[in-house]
Structure 1
Amino acid sequence: MSEFNEFDQQGSVPNKDTGSIISHAFEMYKGVFGYAVVAMIVYLVGGFLIQTITGFNSAAIMEEVQSSGDYANFRYWETPGFSMYMTFSSLFLLLLTPLYVGLIYMVNKYNTKSPIEFSDLFIGYRQNFVNILIYSLIAGIVSSITMTFCLLPFFFVYPFLLIGYPILLFENASAMDALNKSFTIAKENYGVFLLTGFLGMLISAAGVILCFFGIILTAPFIMIVMYSTYCAFVGKPRQIMFTK
């Protein structure tokens, strides 16, 4: 790939522009695609079990909203089981975050041409686990607050969180250090981070077009975008040698 700079003849690093970063992410995604699908299946199965336990049926709710045609005033929070579903779902999503961080670890192994093992997917539960959870909680709160304002502010705030997970993983940073470093780098390169984050999320959500189940194939792409952005602005991380 001629548009990437080679570091130590092992692995590629994109240029500091959105086109190069997204192209790099696509190339990297090919190498971990199967594992990304596994991570999404775990998420969907967990979500299904939570709905079964809480009695909340999201599909039925969507049908009811569509039939009523009143999208703006539908009081979904009054739906039986909604509060319990949101509580368990939020907790499950928080605990699942290290699994997606594992994808970042795997894509770095793919980039550096190191052998990938299935157990690599779970490195986030073995390394810096607490800080990953704290960062995820902070990012979730910030995202939730911005989404309450007609969603638009979220797209302008998200770039500041874009490379937090790679920093947590490769630099073993604390949650606050990762947040500060991600914010600082994004602030200095905001235009690129804004467009890259937006395109990354757009591509990740594109699977909805494929009868919704396509989201399994595309949703994890944003994690790879995080890795490629980190490589572009911080540098290709050295491969973590984790002792089992």
Structure 2
Amino acid sequence: MSEFNEFDQQGSVPNRDTGSIISHAFEMYKGIFLYAIVSMIIYVIADSILESLVGFNLWSFGENIRDSDGDISNYRYYYSPGFSLYYSFSGVLGALLSPIYVGLIYMTNKYNNKATIEFSDLFIGYRQNFVNILIYSLITHVVLRIALAMCGIPFFLVFPFFLLGYPILLFENASAIDAMGKAYNIAKDNYGTFFVVSLLGLILSFCGLLACCIGVLLTGAFMTTVMYSAYCAYLGKPRQITYNK
């Protein structure tokens, strides 16, 4: 087993405020930027394979948005061929790929500790605590999708409660339920900060969509460093952890 329970309060740790956490996340993101792009490429390839299997074209949806100048009120994309299957299985795909996001958090911690980052670190989530990461991700996808279906606004209200889940699963080797409970309790007691941090993180992560969707490869994984920085702010910077390869 890996050592997940030691913490080092020295080093790069942001204050418990929105500006400090986001600034810290930017600094961390610069250190894992290339690996973040790789993670997004993996996701795009996997998503493209899923689209081809179910017969749904997500790119055409983006084109319809651009052609309508952002007004999609009359566009019933959920009637598009293959959309139901795509919507159902994309959540499963997201859960299966979630260990890669955990890997980015692990890389961020190595960068913060000035340790050498290896490409294999990106896949630590498949070797360490995988079952709990998968369970947590599936539960998260279900809850957030339900929230998103409720006019979208509840999604932004609920998301902060999941901000610390992945770092807790990684650094504390917690179970899915324990990670969810701990993340919820911390966010509940600091909801204002967590809400603004989550909102800014989501906006910055998806701002790449404005660049013909291709730019999301550059920004899509930014939320992982936001999660790490928020974890450091409220629970301390983890020591460099080791695991059995």
Q: TM-score, normalised by structure 2?
A: 0.91
Aligned residues: 238
Distance 2:185 2:9 in 1: 29
SS of residue in 1 equivalent to 2:194 = helix
C-alpha distance after superposition, 1:196-233 (max 9, x if no partner): 11111111111112221111101100110000000000
Alignment correspondent of 1:4: none
Alignment correspondent of 1:218: 219
> Could you tell me the percent identity over the aligned residues?
59
SS of residue in 1 equivalent to 2:81 = coil
Q: How do 1:87-166 and structure 2 match up within 5 A?
A: 87-166=88-167
Q: 2:127 is aligned with what amino acid?
A: R
* Structure 2 contact 14–229 (Cα < 8 Å) conserved: yes
Distance 1:43 1:108 in 2: 22
**2:93 is equivalent to residue 81 of structure 1:** no
Distance 2:9 2:226 in 1: 22
Alignment correspondent of 2:229: 228
**2:51 is equivalent to residue 51 of structure 1:** yes
**2:220 is equivalent to residue 202 of structure 1:** no
Pair 1:228–1:63, CA change in 2 (3 A): closer
Distance 2:38 2:59 in 1: 23
**2:23 is equivalent to residue 23 of structure 1:** yes
Distance 2:138 2:90 in 1: 13
C-alpha distance after superposition, 1:178-197 (max 9, x if no partner): 01100111111111111111
Distance 1:29 1:61 in 2: 29
Alignment correspondent of 2:3: none
The alpha carbon displacement at 1:155 in A equals 1.1
Alignment correspondent of 1:3: none
Pair 1:46–1:177, CA change in 2 (3 A): same
Distance 1:208 1:77 in 2: 20
SS of residue in 2 equivalent to 1:227 = helix
Pair 1:228–1:62, CA change in 2 (3 A): closer
**2:41 is equivalent to residue 41 of structure 1:** yes
* Structure 2 contact 24–229 (Cα < 8 Å) conserved: yes
User: Structure 2: which 5+ residue stretches go unaligned?
Assistant: 1-6
Pair 1:77–1:16, CA change in 2 (3 A): same
C-alpha distance after superposition, 1:91-122 (max 9, x if no partner): 22110000111000000000001111000000
SS of residue in 1 equivalent to 2:238 = coil
Distance 1:97 1:29 in 2: 18
SS of residue in 1 equivalent to 2:214 = coil
Distance 1:60 1:182 in 2: 37
SS of residue in 1 equivalent to 2:116 = coil
User: Structure 1: which 5+ residue stretches go unaligned?
Assistant: 1-6
Alignment correspondent of 2:242: 241
Q: How do 1:159-178 and structure 2 match up within 5 A?
A: 159-178=160-179
Q: TM-score, normalised by structure 1?
A: 0.91
SS of residue in 1 equivalent to 2:212 = coil
Alignment correspondent of 2:4: none
The alpha carbon displacement at 1:25 in A equals 0.4
Higher RCO by CA contacts (8 Å cutoff, separation 6 or greater):
2
* Structure 2 contact 28–112 (Cα < 8 Å) conserved: yes
The alpha carbon displacement at 1:39 in A equals 0.2
Distance 2:197 2:223 in 1: 10
Distance 1:181 1:163 in 2: 8
